Structures are given as C-alpha cells and as structure tokens.
Amino acid sequence: MGFWTSRRVVVSGGNGFLGSFVVEKLRAAGCSEIAIPRSSQYDLREKSAALRLYKEARPDIFIHLAAVVGGIGANRANPGRFFYDNAAMGLHLIEAARVAGIEKFVCAGTVCSYPKFTPVPFKEENFWNGYPEETNAPYGLAKKMLLVQLQAFRQQYGLNGIYLVPVNLYGPRDNFDIETSHVIPALIRKCWEAKQARAAEILAWGTGNATREFLYVEDAAEAIVLAAEKYAKPDLVNLGSGEEISIRALLDRIRALVGYDGAIRWDPALPDGQPRRSLDSSRALAEFGWRAKTGLRDGLEQTIRWFERDVMRATRAPVAG
C-alpha cells in the first residue's frame, strides 16, 4: 500500500478498455493521485501537448496505454493512421518523460509486434527475429519502436522505462463494434445478434485454423500495476494466460455460451492473420510474481454477461413520467 500512496500517476488511455481497469487497480492499491488525460485536452500526437501534460500533471510514474487499435479489418483499412498515431504518441510521451525527469515510464506494447512465424510459445528473445504479420505490421512496428526508444533513453539518459507485451485482451468494457473490434467481442456480438434474429448462419473470417491466446483484461491490469511497482529492467516482458485455442474452437465455445445453434460459414478469402499466437510468460512470474488467474471459459462467461447487460441498458426504452 505504501508504494502507491506516495506517488502521482498519469494513465494515458485511462478511460479506455484496459486503462479503466488499471485505474481501478491503482486506486485499490492506495493511489489517490491519478490523472487521466482526455484527447480533447491533450492531443498526444503533438510534442507540445505531451510536454504540457507532464508540466500540469507532474507525475512520478507515467503508464502509457493510449493507442489507436482494432481488429484485422480495422488494421487493413487504416495502416497509415495506426502507424502514425501510435508512433507519434509514444515518441512524444517518452521524450517528455525524459525532459521532466520522472521516476518511471511504463509502456504497453503489443503481441502484433512479434514476427509472423515466431516459434510457439513466443519468447522475448524472439521479438526481433522477423517481420510482423502483414495485416498488423504498421501498428506492430509503431509500438515496437517504443521499446527501442526506451532502451536507448535508458542507456543515454538513465530513463527508467519498462515495456510490457500483453497478448490479445478481452473482457467487460471491450469494444463490441463489428467493424473495429477484436475477435472475441466481434464473435460474441455476431452470435448474440444471430440468436436474437434466429439467423440460420453467421459468417466468420478466414479458415478458423489460426490459433490465439487471450488474456482477461483484469489480469492484464494487475500485471501492469505490479510491473510498475516492482520491475525496472530494460528487457521486454510478455503477459499471457498460457491457453492457446484455434479460432474455430473459440467460436464453438462462444456459440455454446451465447446459446446460438445456427451454422457457421467460414470465408477463406478473408485473412486469418498470424498463423499462431501464444506467449511464454515465465519472465513475468520470475521478475514480479505475476501469472494470469482467469481461465478462458470463466472470462468468456463474464464478458458475455457484461455484454448482454450493456446491450440491454443501451436498448431499454426510457420510462415516461
């Protein structure tokens, strides 16, 4: 409790999916001075805005979670935007951290930065052994450069910056927009809407043969807060659950939990993305005592319950009075 009670923290993206849980974990750990910059106040793609944020918030620790993200479709439609916005935000925030002389900078990277054909499970030492999968490459490379910057700034300026690589996240408060969401929320929404409409089938991208590992958002938030307190080395750290599953098996599981009994039509003309994705997260356990707690089935059940409640709230007609 004592570590966080004495520190001021800025969480970029603190109102977002992952960030909102990180803020809750910080408050539970005793941190009472948390600033959450809004894009309407600070355009973090601009260096002047990043410098002004540090001057006004005066953080001891900066946790950088803000990102422009999406699923395969969004990555294919916005490669330039995803590269520029994510690179610019990170570059300016890390430089401003150096200028301000803060205690620690915590940066969330992405599993999309790993090479397309990384041996499974992905180990941190494989991070530079090839080019990322093409549909995610602009986003993955933009985030990857921030690790280079943090390590260079540590070497030259002594900036204490750490870099964490979470695998695909899911959970309550995720983005469930079909056009921009990642795979789990997209499949939950497709199955739920098909059930409501009594649709005979749903369309799924690719072959279903690609595999993924998924990390429940609260577990990821716990890892970030633990690392912010306890980890201070230049080496990246993977954050994963250790549970790999094919997209086909994932959809079968989601379909059963939602209660949709229609058919699945796979479209192999649409991309699968990276062939396999699963992380070795043993470094996180060794360095700051973290391992994931939430199994995929439990996490999916909680996510679906939250989605159904959220949809019901959004669609409930107002009561006249």
Dist CA 162 CA 232 (whole Å)? 6
Q: Given the residues 54, 139, 231, 260, select the one marked as catalytic.
A: 139
Catalytic (active site) residue 139: yes
Beta bridge partners of 264: 202
Task: Report the Cα 320 to chain-centroid distance in Å.
Answer: 40
Tell me how far apart the alpha carbons of residues 222 and 227 are, in angstroms, rounded to a whole number.
Answer: 9
H-only helix segments in the chain: 2-5, 17-28, 47-57, 72-77, 79-100, 137-157, 183-197, 217-230, 247-258, 282-288, 296-315
Neighbours of 212 (CB within 10 A): 22
Q: Which two tokens stand for residue 298?
A: 């439990």
Q: Are 211 and 277 within 8 A, CB to CB?
A: yes
d(CA 220, CA 227): 11
In our burial notation (b when 16+ CB lie closer than 10 A, e otherwise), range 236-248 reads bbbbbbebbbebb
What does the alpha-carbon distance between residue 159 and residue 27 come to, in Å, rounded to a whole number? 25
For residue 178, which of 316, 72, 19 has the smallest C-alpha distance? 72
- What are the Cα distances from residue 199, in Å, to 192, 195, 316? 10, 6, 23
Q: What is the rounded CA–CA span in Å between residue 303 and residue 309?
A: 10
For the annotated catalytic residues, the residue numbers are: 139
